[in-house]
Amino acid sequence: MVAGEFMKYLQQRILQDGKVFPGEVLKVSSFLNHQLDDCLLDQVGKHISDLFANEKITKILTIEASGIAIACYTARYIHTPVLFAKKEKTSNVSDTVYSAQVVSYTHKKTSTIVVDKEFLTKDDRVLVVDDFLARGEALRGLISLIDQAGATLVGCAIAIEKGFQGGGDQLRAQGVRVESLAIIDSMTDDSITFRE
């Protein structure tokens, strides 16, 4: 599929299979973050890799758990290692890791995310990927890990951005390249409107 065609297809899948829950929660468990659709994720990986072609990416960084799938499918095209940040129970972390605090509004809790220092270095050119972008908390945490390592952030690639929650546009205003394959501009119990 060419890019425009795939983006329309992804929107259709969101409309068809997505379920809206109270608190502006969109569940796409049937294809993106519980059950994973191999064909759809292959296209997600392909289109992310096309968007960042020629960027000499050396590492794909994501966060457990549902970001891992998108990172792996993207790595199948970019052929770099994937690094996934782990969520720690405690904020007591060792000095062998970079760490950041991430607030999840959906789950109403704060996590400490960590990556081993040995896997993220100043020579890395890093693409951040994730399944969802809402207020941007997870991305800001991942970008902080990249900054701590002195690595270069190439940009962020997201499957579904909830545009109306503002995190993506805030990062864009700060000069971060954020590419989302579908951007939802408004969402109610019975309608979802996409940004064109």
Q: Which residues bind a copy of itself (CB under 8 A)?
A: 29-31, 34-39, 41-42, 64-65, 68-69, 71-73, 75-76, 79-84, 86, 115-116, 118-119
> How remote is the C-alpha of 110 from its chain's centroid?
18
CB of 145 to a copy of itself, least distance (A): 13
Residue with Cβ nearer a copy of itself (86 or 177): 86
Start-to-end CA distance of the chain, whole Å, equals 18
User: On the CB side of 192, how many CA atoms lie within 13 Å of its CA?
Assistant: 24
Shortest Å distance, C-beta 130 to a copy of itself: 14
Measured distance CA(42)–CA(186) in Å, rounded: 27
Q: Which is nearer to a copy of itself, 45 or 163 (CB)?
A: 45
CA 38, distance to chain mean position in Å, is 17
Helix (H) or strand (E) holding 143, with range, is helix 137-149
Q: How far is the CB of 97 from a copy of itself (least distance, A)?
A: 10
Least CB distance to a copy of itself at residue 51 (A)? 18
Nearer to a copy of itself, 118 or 196 (CB): 118
Please work out, in degrees rounded to the nearest 5, the angle formed at the alpha carbon of residue 56 by the alpha carbons of 66 and 81: 40
Nearer to a copy of itself, 119 or 164 (CB): 119
Give backbone dihedrals phi and psi of 108, rounded to 5 degrees, phi first.
55, 50
Using CA atoms, how far apart are residues 69 and 73, in angstroms rounded to an integer? Answer: 6
Residue 91 CB, nearest distance to a copy of itself (Å)? Answer: 17
Calculate the CA 36 to chain-centre distance. Answer: 15
* Cβ proximity to a copy of itself, 76 vs 172, nearer residue: 76
